């Protein structure tokens, strides 16, 4: 059974630098495995990059296999680069590596269907 956990985090570094709330934006960082998903909501300074948001979110505490500098990411299902800047309300999605080539899997299914129709 899948478990979705929400956490509200605030960027401690922003508070340490006495950043006012109007310079902070609300974002989310998400990652999921077949059996476990995590959604972290946090406030980050305007101008924060995707890579920085991944680090600030602390998601690597829950999924140590995530390497922020090597992550394949998107915002709302659209691919983005780690150095892209976030906007208010963005959801950073960290993608898992593919376990199989989608084209190869379609080919195998088509061959199997063809054999079953004989």
Segment 78-101, tens digit of pLDDT: 999 999 999 999 999 999 987 777
Q: Mind listing the pLDDT tens digit for each residue in 13-35?
A: 434 444 556 699 999 999 999 89
Domain ranges in the chain are 4-116
> How many percent of the chain have pLDDT more than 70?
81
The DSSP line for 49-82 is BHHHHHHHHTGGGT-TT--GGG-EEEETTEEE-T
What pTM was estimated for this model as a whole? 0.70
C-alpha span between 118 and 10 (Å, rounded) = 61
Domain 4-116, CATH class in plain words? alpha beta
């Amino acid at each position: 059974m899948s478990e979705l956990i929400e956490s509200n985090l605030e960027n401690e570094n922003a508070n340490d630098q006495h950043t006012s709330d109007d310079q902070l934006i609300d974002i989310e960082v998400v990652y999921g495995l077949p059996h476990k998903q995590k959604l972290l909501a946090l406030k980050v300074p305007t101008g924060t990059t995707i890579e920085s948001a991944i680090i600030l979110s602390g998601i690597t505490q829950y999924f140590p296999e995530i390497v922020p500098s090597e992550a394949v990411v998107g915002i709302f299902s659209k691919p983005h680069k780690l150095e892209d800047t976030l906007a208010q309300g963005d959801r950073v999605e960290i993608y898992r590596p593919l376990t199989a080539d989608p084209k190869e899997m379609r080919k195998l299914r088509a061959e199997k269907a063809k054999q079953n129709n004989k």
